Amino acid sequence: MGRERDRAVVLRHRPYRERDALVTLFAERLGKVAAVAKGVRTPKSRMAAGLQALTLARVDLYVGRSALLTVTGAEPETVFPRVREDLERMGRAAMCADLVDELTSEHDPLPGTFQVLVGALEALDGGRRPAEVFVAAAWHLLREAGLKPDPSRCAACGRMLDAQAAWRSGTGPVCHRCRTAGDRPARPASLAWLRHVDGEQPAAWGSRPAPPGAAAEVERWVRDFVVAHVGRVPRAFRVYDQVAWPEVEEGKD
Ligand SMILES: [Zn+2]
């Protein structure tokens, strides 16, 4: 119990009662927390700007007996203005936030996840390629959650992957010995790009285009993986798909 000051990204913001809001924050030290922001929906509130969804803010929190914290102050560090001006960037940012929400539990400090999320938002705000940034961020979020498969080895037998590798939904890449009829062909260029992304830092995400078709193909793998582990399609993914979804070329070599 007591007061905490932390940097946090606002994952969700929902109206609550007359003047309040319930916010889900992902904080650098505290991890994911749910908090009530009293009076934030009144014109005089000083916290409103810092508690919009997809804002990075310095927040003051009161931690009492309840799992629900109280926000006592919020100062925006950045609202990522360029993300807000562009539907594609906004959609991708919301997908990253939703993925963090789905892959984490409350009160579990995960500084690596915070870094990936902030890195993704900065990359999107910095004008880098939204699809490439999203795929890289999602892949690294899976890693932080301890879920991602090894992009170099067969997820079934552990051998190094060969040119006839395939992708097994929800599992990862499989070699030609292990692949079955249900596995989707995996283009070598897409696997090579995924290995590149696997070792890339947020400062480089989306700065260069992926090989033709690779970002879309890897995004399908990542989405399958998320759905298999989360058990459903995250809400922001469905919203994004209603707005835009690039055509995906099925694996051709
Ligand atoms: Zn194998």
pLDDT tens per residue, range 193-224: 999 999 999 999 999 999 999 999 999 999 99
The whole-number average pLDDT for the span 19-33 is 97
- State in Å: Cα 143 to ligand 1 middle: 21
- State in Å: Cα 187 to ligand 1 middle: 16
The whole-number average pLDDT for the span 117-130 is 98
Closest to 125 (Cα-Cα) out of 56, 75, 29? 56
pLDDT at position 98 is 97
- State in Å: Cα 112 to ligand 1 middle: 30
- State in Å: Cα 197 to ligand 1 middle: 22
> Residue 152's pLDDT band (boundaries 50, 70, 90)?
very high
The whole-number average pLDDT for the span 16-33 is 97
- State in Å: Cα 227 to ligand 1 middle: 23
pLDDT at position 178 is 96
**Contact, 133 vs 172, CB < 8 A?**
no
Annotate 155-194 with b (16+ C-beta within 10 A) or e (fewer).
bbeeeebeeebbbbeebbbbbeebbeeebeebbbebbebb
**What is the DSSP annotation of 62-111?**
EE-SSSSEEEEEEEEEE--HHHHT-HHHHHHHHHHHHHHHHH--BT---H
Q: Answer yes or no: is pLDDT of 252 > 50.
A: no
- State the angle between helix axes of 111-125 and 130-144 in degrees (0 to 180), rounded to the nearest 10: 180
- The model's pTM is 0.93
- State in Å: Cα 174 to ligand 1 middle: 5
Domains of the chain: 2-79 (2.40.50.140), 82-243 (1.20.1440.120)
SS3 129: coil
- State in Å: Cα 251 to ligand 1 middle: 19
- State in Å: Cα 162 to ligand 1 middle: 9
pLDDT at position 245 is 56
End-to-end CA distance of the chain: 58
pLDDT at position 177 is 96
